[in-house]
């Protein structure tokens, strides 16, 4: 069953159903249809379901109808390949030893699965389904599975990103306890929890949707159309929908974003402190030091620079996540306040915008790693042996050495 709340939604729905090369529906024709069927144009009057104005709604509708399918599939293909490369590089022996890289690997796996799942959805829902008027049962089952699977995978990414921030906070804030708080065993436990907990957090949404049927008669034949829609008890009781969106907005969106904002500010503050400390150390360069003192100072400075580069890269990852997730969290928060009407009109209307933001967030981490992590670039260049990739390594080949140990394993030294 389809619920039409205003003229804009009705126009978009009609154009989607009847879109082809030879058919066009004018605004005047749609207005006559609405008048004949007593469909009120609520856009002409003040409404709680206002979604940002007619111009913005038309812009979003145009993007969703004509551009989103192709852009989303392109982003998913690129993101799938990029996350596979992330996994290949981060699981190398000289990279996987760092727990932070294991968390990044788990994040790449979740993002890759999300991209792979979204490709058939984008093709079926935005391209194949809109060219037909047939709604088969297998399509409704697929849409129902897509709703739950994407929410679980996206929540896994949220949990892993939050774990990444907390892990870096512990590593920098408590260096004397780093071997205990950031051990390999705790890293494995944290990753496992991040993959299991979202299944439980998303449990309230499992009972929100169902597959319904609509019987129609066309050319003397009866047809059964299958749709995925809200359950009748959810439609009748707005409290259930509000509780679900409060859970979604607060525990899955806003709370992680608030925690990430606090940790990101703390990490940025730590970087500024480290920069000031380096400036103070440079002030002592004019004083004579022993050879041992110079060597010790050089080692400490190198370790600090490497830690600062890692912190900067993680801050970029966290800020990108906040940029894409905070608007969704605020949106869900207002839906929790307003209820079903805002969900049916606004959330569904802006769904493609939120989808493409989440897909972009999960697809460009590879670019961040290449731009901000020297070790990642070097390992990537060694793996694929390409002239262009060798330039990305940002280091001459003479500075990268591979040594074979007595046990037969290889180690990379930068």
Distance CA 89, CA 393 (A): 13
In-domain check, residue 16: no
Mean per-residue pLDDT, 405-409:
44
Q: How far apart are CA 191 and CA 12, in angstroms?
A: 42
Which value, in Å, is the radius of gyration of the alpha carbons in the chain? 26
- Asked, for residue 378, whether it belongs to a domain, the answer is no
**Cα(182)–Cα(201) distance, rounded to whole angstroms?**
25
**Within a domain: residue 261?**
yes
Which of the pair, 290 or 179, is modelled with greater confidence? Answer: 179
Long-range contacts of 378-382 (CB under 8 A, 24+ apart): 378/412, 378/414, 379/89, 379/92, 379/94, 379/95, 379/412, 380/85, 380/89, 382/412
The average pLDDT across 82-92 equals 94
Query: Does residue 121 belong to any structural domain of this protein?
Result: yes
Amino acid 302: pLDDT? 63
Which DSSP helix (H) or strand (E) runs through 210?
Answer: strand 209-218
Tokens of 41: 């144009």
The pLDDT, as a whole number, for residue 350 is: 80
Residue 243, pLDDT > 50, answer: yes
pLDDT digits (tens, 9 = 90+) for 104-143: 999 999 999 999 999 999 998 888 876 666 678 888 899 8
What residues contact 225, with CB distance under 8 A and at least 6 apart? 134, 135, 213, 214, 215, 216
Of the chain, the percentage scoring pLDDT greater than 90 comes to 20
**83 falls in which pLDDT band (50, 70, 90)?**
very high
Segment 291-311, tens digit of pLDDT: 454 444 444 456 666 677 778
Largest Cα–Cα distance of the chain, in whole Å?
99
Taking residue 328's Cβ as centre, other Cβ atoms within 10 Å add up to 23
Domain membership of residue 352 (yes or no) is: yes
- For the purposes of burial, counting CB atoms within 10 Å of the CB of 394, is it exposed (0-12), middle (13-18) or buried (19 or more)? middle
Residues 6+ apart with CB under 8 A from 200: none
Q: Does residue 192 form part of some domain?
A: yes
- Displacement of CA 122 from its chain's centroid (Å): 16
- As for how many domains the chain has, the answer is 1
Phi, psi of 215 (to 5 degrees): -95, 130
Residue 130 domain-assigned (yes or no): yes
Categorize the per-residue pLDDT at 340 as very low, low, confident or very high, splitting at 50, 70 and 90: low
Domain annotation covers residue 20: no
Distances (CA, A) of 326 to 158, 336, 399: 12, 15, 42
Q: Select the more confidently predicted residue: 284 or 335.
A: 335
Give me the domain span that covers residue 62.
Answer: 48-282+297-372
Q: What is the CATH number of the domain that holds 209?
A: 1.20.1070.10
The tens digit of pLDDT for each residue in 380-404 reads 888 876 545 455 555 454 444 444 4
> Is there a contact between 155 and 202 (Cβ–Cβ < 8 Å)?
yes
User: Residue 24: what pLDDT?
Assistant: 46
pLDDT tens string 1-31: 344 444 555 555 555 544 433 344 445 555 5
Q: What is the mean pLDDT of residues 175-185?
A: 86
Average pLDDT, the chain: 75
């Amino acid at each position: 069953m389809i619920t039409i709340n205003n003229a804009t939604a009705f126009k978009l729905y009609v154009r989607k159903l009847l879109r082809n090369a030879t058919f066009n529906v004018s605004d005047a024709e749609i207005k006559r249809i609405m008048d004949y069927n007593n469909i009120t144009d609520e856009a002409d009057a003040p409404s709680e379901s206002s979604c940002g104005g007619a111009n913005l709604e038309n812009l979003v509708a145009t993007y969703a109808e004509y551009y989103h399918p192709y852009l989303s599939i392109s982003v998913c293909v690129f993101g799938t390949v990029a996350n596979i490369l992330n996994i290949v590089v981060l699981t190398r022996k000289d990279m996987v030893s760092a727990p932070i890289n294991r968390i990044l690997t788990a994040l790449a796996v979740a993002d890759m699965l999300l991209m792979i799942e979204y490709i058939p959805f984008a093709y079926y829902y935005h391209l194949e389904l809109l060219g037909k008027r047939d709604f088969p049962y297998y399509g409704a089952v697929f849409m129902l599975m897509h709703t739950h699977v994407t929410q679980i995978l996206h929540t896994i990414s949220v949990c892993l990103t939050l774990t990444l921030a907390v892990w870096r906070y512990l590593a920098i804030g408590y260096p004397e306890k780093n071997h205990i708080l950031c051990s390999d065993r705790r890293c494995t436990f944290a990753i496992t929890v991040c993959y299991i907990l979202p299944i439980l957090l998303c449990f309230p949404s499992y009972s929100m949707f169902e597959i319904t049927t609509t019987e129609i008669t066309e050319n003397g034949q009866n047809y059964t159309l299958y749709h995925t829609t809200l359950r009748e008890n959810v439609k009748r009781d707005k409290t259930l929908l509000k509780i679900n969106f409060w859970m979604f907005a607060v525990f899955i969106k806003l709370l992680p974003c608030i925690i990430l904002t606090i940790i990101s500010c703390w990490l940025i503050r730590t970087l500024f402190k480290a920069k000031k400390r380096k400036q103070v150390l440079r002030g002592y360069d004019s004083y004579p030091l022993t050879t041992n003192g110079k060597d010790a100072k050089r080692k400490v400075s190198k370790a600090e620079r490497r830690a600062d580069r890692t912190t900067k890269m993680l801050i970029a990852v966290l800020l990108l996540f906040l940029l894409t997730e905070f608007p969704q969290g605020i949106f869900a928060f207002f839906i929790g306040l307003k209820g079903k009407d805002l969900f049916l009109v606004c959330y569904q209307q802006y769904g493609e915008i939120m989808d493409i933001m989440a897909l972009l967030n999960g697809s460009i981490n590879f670019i961040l790693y290449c731009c901000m992590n020297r070790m990642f670039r070097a390992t990537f260049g060694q793996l694929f042996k390409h002239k262009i990739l060798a330039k990305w390594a940002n280091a001459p080949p003479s500075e990268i050495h591979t040594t074979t140990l007595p046990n037969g394993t290889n180690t990379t030294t930068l």
